Structure 1
């Protein structure tokens, strides 16, 4: 199938999506039936709408093979379940982006693969932390406090920062950090090798596994067993350590590990 044919098919399908999303009643019916099959009385009580309005919406969805009636219960068809599941994902993606709007809007996202961005809803419970004029180090101090409790870390490190390496070395010296996995680019590795302390304490450390890639990255990702943090670059190419996204739930870790495995 050519790209032109694909575009035509997607355009036709968009009309179907628009049909659902432009109707509050149709959308709400699909979302409430996504939870479980329900009787008309349950739908009326939940949606606070008269039976005639609900029945009209149900009939429209039934004509489009999205719901069906079995005895007194309305339920999603297989098609209806698939479409509604993805509609829930769209809503959660929308919520996740809007919740951390400043973080996403201010930064270069080009190093995050499209397939990973599509699942941004997994970060819906992540916390956005930024530095302020009264506390310029708020974001970085929050990060340092988090990693101080970690036993194992996976880090995509895009910048050479002696302070970051110093903090990691201190974690090893204090016996807190048991294993570190680093992904760095060739230029960064070269800078690390020139610093004798970093070379000895990080590169030659048996507890450290370094993977070198032949490209610069535009994100700083840190993953432990209990949290994930993400900082990005401004669109002008400068690294931004004043804004950080922190996730501590299973979904955030899943999202981060997928991104990490990409590199």
Structure 2
């Protein structure tokens, strides 16, 4: 399929999506029927709308092969189920982005692959923390406190930071942290090798496994069994440790592991 044909097809599909999303009734009906089939009276009670309004919406969705009626029950077709699943994903993505709007809007996202960005909804319960004029180290101190409890960690480290390496070495030399995996760029690895303390404490430590990739990375990711943290770079190329995203649920860990595996 050529790009022109693809563009035309996507335009047609967008019209179909717009048809659903621009109608509160059509959208609500799909979302309401997503969990299970329902009778007209159930829909009327749940949506608090008259039967005529609901029946009009049902008829439109039935015409577009998104729902079907079996005896007295209305249910989603396979197409309807797929469309609604992705509509929910769109809504959750929208919510997740808006919830941490300053974090996403202020930073360079180019090193987060498209397939991972599409699943931002998995971070919908993540917490955005930023430093303030009264506490310039709020985000950083929150991060240090968080990693101090970890037993196993995976990290993508993009920068040479004495403070970060000092804290990582402290954890490796302690008794809590049992295993550490690091992903660093070739350039960062060379800088680490020049520092005797980092070389001996991290690069020659049995607890630590290091994966080296050729190019620079513009994100700082930390994953443990109980949390994930993400910090990014400003669009001008400078690293920002004043804003951090922290997730502690299974979905956030899933999102972070997908990003980690990519690198």
TM range (shorter): over 0.9
- Which stretch shifts more, 170-179 or 118-127? 170-179
Partner SS, residue 241 of structure 2: coil
Q: 1:174 Cα shift?
A: 2.0
Partner SS, residue 177 of structure 1: coil
Deviations 1:43-68 (A, max 9, x none): 01111100000000000000110000
Scaled by the length of structure 2, the TM-score of the pair is 0.99
Matched, 1:3 2:23: no
Show the counterpart of 1:16.
16
Matched, 1:58 2:58: yes
Distance across 2 between alignment mates of 1:163 and 1:84? 47
Q: How does 1:32-71 map to 2 (within 5 A)?
A: 32-71=32-71
Q: 1:77 Cα shift?
A: 0.3
Partner SS, residue 110 of structure 1: coil
Distance across 2 between alignment mates of 1:179 and 1:124? 28
Show the counterpart of 1:260.
260
Show the counterpart of 2:188.
188
Q: 1:176 Cα shift?
A: 1.4
Distance across 1 between alignment mates of 2:55 and 2:257? 45
Partner SS, residue 34 of structure 2: helix
Deviations 1:133-152 (A, max 9, x none): 11111100110011000011
Distance across 1 between alignment mates of 2:180 and 2:52? 62
* Stretches of 4+ aligned residues off by more than 2 angstroms: none
Show the counterpart of 1:121.
121
Point out where structure 2 has 5 or more consecutive residues left out of the alignment. Answer: none
Task: Figure out how many residues of one structure are paired with residues of the other and give that number.
Answer: 263
Point out where structure 1 has 5 or more consecutive residues left out of the alignment. Answer: none
Distance across 2 between alignment mates of 1:242 and 1:175? 29
Scaled by the length of structure 1, the TM-score of the pair is 0.99
Q: How large is the RMSD of aligned CA atoms in angstroms?
A: 0.6
Show the counterpart of 2:152.
152
